[in-house]
Amino acid sequence: MSSSSLNPGSLYARLGGESALRELVDTFYAQVGSTPEAASLLQMHLQGKGVLHAREAQFEFLSGFLGGPPLYFERRQHANIKQMHAHLDMIA
């Protein structure tokens, strides 16, 4: 999906498109890796395929979720949050 075919009213477009979303995700994961408050989230990511994988998957998921290109779905053929996190020991 080219940027010219994006819905200009989508949250993805209003946020600033791909570069702005990448910056947002990169900023979030910089905090995940450096703040004590995010230690449990970091540990959760380390139970999976690691933070770099999670960073890219988060970008792909949010792209589609916010009305941009459905990258996560295109690569994985689903966007089921429960399935995405099935590898985790969920705490009730």
Lowest mean pLDDT among 2-6, 23-27, 71-75: 2-6
Domains of the chain, earliest start first = 9-84 (1.10.490.10)
Instruction: Using alpha carbons, list the distances in angstroms from residue 92 to 12, 69, 82, 89.
Output: 32, 33, 14, 10
Q: Using the predicted structure, report yes or no on whether residue 6 has a pLDDT greater than 80.
A: no
What is the pLDDT at residue 76?
Answer: 81
| CA–CA separation, 39 and 85 (whole Å) | 18
**pLDDT at 5 exceeding the cut of 50:** yes
| Predicted confidence (pLDDT) at residue 91 exceeds the cutoff of 60 | no
| Position 40 confidence tier, pLDDT thresholds 50, 70, 90 | confident
Contact 70, 63 (CB under 8 A): yes
Confidence of residue 87 (pLDDT cuts 50, 70, 90): low
